[in-house]
Chains A and B, each alone.
Chain A
Amino acid sequence: EIVMTQSPATLSVSPGDRATLSCRASQTVTSKLAWYQQKPGQVPRLLINGASARASGVPARFSGSGSGTEFTLTISSLQSEDVAVYYCQQYYIRPFTFGGGTKVEI
């Protein structure tokens, strides 16, 4: 099983600042990686597919990068509505494992 490790567990960022979230895979997942946002009490929302492709309707301040085992989700200018837990998921090899999440707070 591929283990997905996200860091940090919690990230405190001031409004307007950049937030950088990391996701590491225990073995290569090529570019088969997705990022999700889950706000309190809500369903997860797809942000990034294929490591770097923004999903439909996702603001341009969200960007994904990386391949192989190291991935990054960047929020270029944090807004108050971006407070959420962010998860990465690999879909290269089953089981399609999720990371433990990074909580972003203001």
Chain B
Amino acid sequence: EVQLVESGGGLEQPGGSLRLSCAASGFTFSDYSMNWVRQAPGKGLEWISYISSSSSITYYAASVKGRFTISRDNAKNSLFLQMNNLRAEDSAVYYCAKDNRPREISGYDYWGQGTLVTVSS
């Protein structure tokens, strides 16, 4: 059974940092690209970052570029999001999401349960 479990969310002050983790199991993690998607309370979905299966390619939304860094450890089946210089508008539930097809950008067939990030003084 595919499982994605996020952790690392919480309350942080503006300008602070958080590191989100996503533990993957039930599939060959190193074969699939991964993504982070966020959802502010009562709002829609916002894609924020992508990483290829080998970590050779990363993409970011303009809203987080230069502040957030996506990475992965295929040996530990883990995905990460380092979030620096946090702003109030970064407050959201953060989901990790798995691409549907190996080594190909596609829709996301599995999502974690999400971790809540709140940025407030």
Q: Interface on A for B, CB 8 Å cutoff?
A: 1, 32, 34, 36, 38, 43-46, 48-50, 55-56, 85, 87, 89, 91, 94-101
CB of B27 within 8 Å of the partner chain:
no
* Cα–Cα distance between A90 and B101 once the two chains are bound (Å): 15
Query: DSSP majority for the A interface?
Result: loop
What string of 1s and 0s marks CB contacts (under 8 Å) between B89-112 and chain A?
000000100001100011111011
Contact yes or no, A34 B114, CB < 8 A: no
Which of chain B's residues have a CB closer than 8 A to the CB of A46?
100, 107-109
Nearest chain B CB to A17 CB, angstrom units: 25
Residue of B nearest to A38 (CB): B45
A34-B106, A36-B45 given as contacts; is B112 within 8 A of A43 (CB)? yes
User: Of A32, A89, A94, which contacts B45 at CB under 8 A?
Assistant: A89
- Tell me whether A49 and B100 are in contact (CB under 8 A): yes
Instruction: Give the CA-CA distance A94 to B95 in the complex, in Å.
Output: 18
Give which listed residue, B35, B47, B113, contacts A43 with CB less than 8 A: B113
Given A1-B62, A95-B61, A100–B44 Cβ distance below 8 Å?
Answer: yes
Closest 6 CB pairs of A and B: A34-B107, A49-B107, A94-B59, A98-B45, A43-B111, A96-B47
Residues of A within 8 A of B29 (CB): none
The distance in angstroms between the C-alpha atoms of A85 and B111, with both chains bound, is 16
Interchain CB contact under 8 A, B106 and A95? no
> Are A56 and B109 CB-contacts (below 8 A) given A1-B62, A43-B95, A95-B62?
yes
Additional A-B contacts beyond A43-B114, A89-B47, A96-B50 (16; CB < 8 A): A1-B62, A43-B95, A43-B113, A44-B37, A46-B107, A46-B108, A49-B107, A49-B109, A50-B107, A56-B109, A85-B44, A95-B59, A96-B47, A96-B59, A98-B46, A99-B44
Which residues on the A side are within 8 Å of B111 (C-beta)? 43-45
Which chain A residues border B35 with CB–CB below 8 Å? 96
Mark interface residues in B51-68 (1 if CB within 8 Å of A CB, else 0): 000000001111000000
